[in-house]
């Protein structure tokens, strides 16, 4: 039956139902066949319309996102999980200056990374202007020790405001993982780095008080 035919049938049955209800007003008789017919046809129309609505596309899993990005983008790629924002992004390298690379999303949110070490962010709000991790050599060599980490943030007046943290490094809970524990200014945080041959293919690093932690995984070096 076509939609036009269904609509005409509904209108006809509805009109008949009204007439039937007028004739039976005040009676104790069962529901009119016309009323039943109108309701049945109306339910059929609703079911047909609902069937035409396509189901919502489920969001891609991180593995699916990574596979698609590797297929369509030949550039170096990283997968970044923003824990405080509850989302995962694939970022492609858009620039390089020596060992420092800029990775960016299509919406121009960017991470600046030096051989796996996060040293800045752009376009995320409350951005980290630059990080100066005095612990970097300790982390890359997997050694225990202490050093100062300086994190510079953009303030409302556009100037950089440095925050200095006292940090110590040591072996993590799993082989090949080095942790960096830092504290200062009433804040404490722990970074984790999986180090392979002096490189850092997987890490969890603290961006700042507002953005919290990001996990970074190299998809294509």
- The predicted-structure confidence for 191-216, as pLDDT tens digits, reads as follows 999 999 889 999 999 999 999 999 99
* CA–CA gap between residue 100 and residue 113 (Å, rounded): 6
Planar angle of CA 68, 90, 221, nearest 5 degrees:
90
What does the pLDDT read at residue 198?
Answer: 84
* CA–CA gap between residue 42 and residue 21 (Å, rounded): 18
Q: Find tokens 């609902």 and name the residue.
A: 50
Q: Please say if the pLDDT value at position 180 is more than 70.
A: yes
Asked if 105 and 208 touch (Cβ cutoff 8 Å), the reply is no
Considering the domain delimited by 62-220, tell me its CATH architecture. Beta Barrel (2.40)
What average pLDDT does the structure give for the chain? 83
pLDDT digits (tens, 9 = 90+) for 62-83: 899 999 999 999 999 999 999 9
91: nearest Cα among 66, 116, 118: 66
Asked if 79 and 217 touch (Cβ cutoff 8 Å), the reply is yes
CA 19 to chain centre: 58
* CA–CA gap between residue 211 and residue 120 (Å, rounded): 12
pLDDT digits (tens, 9 = 90+) for 103-143: 999 999 999 999 999 999 999 988 999 999 999 999 999 99
Q: Give me the phi and psi of 8, to 5 degrees please.
A: -65, -40
Helices (H) and strands (E) counted in the chain, each on its own, are 4, 12
Q: How would you list the strands of the sheet with 128-133, edge to edge?
A: 117-122, 110-114, 100-104, 87-97, 77-82, 212-220, 199-208, 187-196, 177-184, 160-171, 145-154, 128-133
* CA–CA gap between residue 82 and residue 208 (Å, rounded): 12
How far CA 189 is from CA of 1, 48, 217, in Å, comes to 66, 55, 20
Q: Please say if the pLDDT value at position 23 is more than 50.
A: no
Verdict on whether the full-model pTM lies above 0.75: no
Domain boundaries, given as residue ranges, for the chain: 3-52, 62-220
What does the pLDDT read at residue 9?
Answer: 39
């Amino acid at each position: 039956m076509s939609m036009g035919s269904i609509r005409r049938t509904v209108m006809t049955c509805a009109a008949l139902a009204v007439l039937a209800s007028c004739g039976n007003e005040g009676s104790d008789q069962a529901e009119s066949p016309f009323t039943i017919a109108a309701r049945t046809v109306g339910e059929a129309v609703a079911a047909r319309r609902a069937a035409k609505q396509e189901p919502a596309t489920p969001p891609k899993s991180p593995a699916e996102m990574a596979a698609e990005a590797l297929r369509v983008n030949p550039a170096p790629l990283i997968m970044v999980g923003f824990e405080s924002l509850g989302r995962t992004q694939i970022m492609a390298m858009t620039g390089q200056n020596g060992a420092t690379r800029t990775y960016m999303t299509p919406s121009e949110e960017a991470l600046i990374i030096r051989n796996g070490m996060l040293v800045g962010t752009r376009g995320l709000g409350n951005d980290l202007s630059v990080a100066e991790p005095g612990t970097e050599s300790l982390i890359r060599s997997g050694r225990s020790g202490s050093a100062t980490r300086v994190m510079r943030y953009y303030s409302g007046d556009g100037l950089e405001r440095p925050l200095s943290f006292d940090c110590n490094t040591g072996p993590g809970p799993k082989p090949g993982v080095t942790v960096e524990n830092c504290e200062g200014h009433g804040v404490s945080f722990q970074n984790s780095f999986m180090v392979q041959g002096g490189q850092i293919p997987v890490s969890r690093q603290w961006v700042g008080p507002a953005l919290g932690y990001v996990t970074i995984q190299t998809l294509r070096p």
